[in-house]
Amino acid sequence: MRKVIHSLKVLENKSAGGDNFTLLLEAPEPLPTITPGQFCEVKVDNDPTVYLRRPFSIHNVDYKSNTITLLIKVLGKGTAKLSGIKEGDALNVVYPLGKGFTISDEPKVLLVGGGCGVAPLLYMARVLNEKGIRPTILVGGRTTVDVPRVEAYKEVGETHVATEDGSLGEKGLVTQHSVFKSHLADFKRIYTCGPEGMMKAVAKAAEALEIPCEVSLENTMACGIGVCLCCVTETKEGHKCVCTEGPVFDSTQLNGWNIDKASTCSKPYLKNE
């Protein structure tokens, strides 16, 4: 799959509530083909203390306008710097990186996202829509501002929300939502992205019902191209780089993610500061 390094023009920097914001970025030439779940590495300029590029899922792609959108949460210096970027500025971006989700023809699809980790699921839902599939989408967070862009998700799927404090949607974790608890067996494919604990719970529930489940890992990343080895995860086939062999994996292929061993894996998720 073709990777490019582009200087992307910032068309818009918009708040998505709380510490979340979206960047609408225009490419200088036709976009490469991007699969939902793939990510990009963004160079943070004008801060000598931020050396490494920052990895972000690709939130949306519009081939007609030649733009991509990133949904970012401010977590540290790099993301804080990016939050202040202005319309007309340029961002140096390497993309698309990694392997994305498998696009299924199954009509009954569930997307489960947590917090800002929900980002790649919007583009995933749009691609499913193009195939005539309207997925069910379940998103959650601690409180309302931790569940960004709910209205955008409602446009592309039957969207349900859970918040731990009950300020939006049902009260509790996404895995405690009535759709998850009572209707999971209705689905033929599950895709999930977000905090590792949430994804493991989703993966275990899917495995118990023998529903194929793909998870998008958020391990710490630096180079994004398989060189630094800081993103390695354990799979049934040995160690694999999340940045090149993932970030999307079949949950049954990951060590420590199955029903018997779910508590043994201690890989951190993305520390995207």
Binding residues for ligand FES (CB under 6 A): 221-224, 226-231, 241, 243
- As a whole number of angstroms, the distance between CA 15 and CA 34 comes to 25
- Give min distance, CB of 41 to ligand FES, in A: 9
- Give min distance, CB of 244 to ligand FES, in A: 6
For the residues of 38-69, what is the DSSP string, one character each?
Answer: -EEEE---S-TT--S-EEEE--EEETTTTEEE
Whichever of 29 and 237 has its CB closer to ligand FES, that residue is: 237
Which alpha helices (DSSP H) does the chain contain, by range?
Answer: 77-83, 119-130, 150-156, 178-183, 196-208, 242-245
Whichever of 57 and 159 has its CB closer to ligand FES, that residue is: 57
| Contact in structure between 215 and 111 (CB atoms under 8 Å) | no
Q: Determine the 3-state secondary structure of 216 from DSSP.
A: strand
- Give min distance, CB of 26 to ligand FES, in A: 26
| Contact in structure between 56 and 272 (CB atoms under 8 Å) | yes
- Give min distance, CB of 62 to ligand FES, in A: 27
- Give min distance, CB of 55 to ligand FES, in A: 8
Whichever of 75 and 90 has its CB closer to ligand FES, that residue is: 75
| Contact in structure between 211 and 131 (CB atoms under 8 Å) | no
Whichever of 133 and 241 has its CB closer to ligand FES, that residue is: 241
- Give min distance, CB of 196 to ligand FES, in A: 17
Whichever of 147 and 241 has its CB closer to ligand FES, that residue is: 241
- Give min distance, CB of 113 to ligand FES, in A: 22
| Contact in structure between 175 and 198 (CB atoms under 8 Å) | yes
Strand bridging mode 158-163 / 136-141: parallel
Burial (0-12, 13-18, 19+ Cβ within 10 Å), 24: buried
DSSP 8-state class, residue 194 = S
Whichever of 213 and 221 has its CB closer to ligand FES, that residue is: 221
Whichever of 104 and 253 has its CB closer to ligand FES, that residue is: 253
- Give min distance, CB of 265 to ligand FES, in A: 18
> Which tokens in the block code for residue 49?
């203390």
Whichever of 99 and 189 has its CB closer to ligand FES, that residue is: 99
| Contact in structure between 153 and 175 (CB atoms under 8 Å) | no
